[in-house]
Amino acid sequence: MTDRQIEDLRFYQRSEAYDDKERATVRFADLVTRGASAIDESVLNWLGRYYSDDEIVELVMVVALANMVNRVNDTLQIEPDLG
């Protein structure tokens, strides 16, 4: 992500810093994070306009890993090393 995209993340849907594929990626990551059980075939078909099936699996794995790390860090009150 660019510095501008990071700055605009809260407003990614309106930001010119994101293209349609990037907006779809952020939206999908949000959907997976907030309620993966609500994702149905229509969501996967929509995302399929931008990604192959294999890429969607990889994207889900990346989002799931990030969520797991966040839960572990939050539970154990570990501050992330931001470099």
Count of structural domains within the chain:
1
Domain containing residue 8: 3-75
Predicted confidence (pLDDT) per residue in 17-71, tens digit: 999 999 999 999 999 999 999 899 999 999 999 999 999 999 999 999 999 999 9
- Could you tell me the pTM of the whole model? 0.85
Q: Which of 20, 27, 33 is CA-nearest to residue 70? A: 33
pLDDT at 78: 94
- Within a domain: residue 37? yes
pLDDT at 82: 81
Q: Helices 53-75 and 20-35, interaxial angle, to 10°? A: 50
Q: Which of 40, 45, 5 is CA-nearest to residue 26? A: 5
- Within a domain: residue 45? yes
Residue 74 has pLDDT above 90, yes or no: yes
- Within a domain: residue 81? no
| Phi, psi (deg, nearest 5) at residue 81 | -85, 105
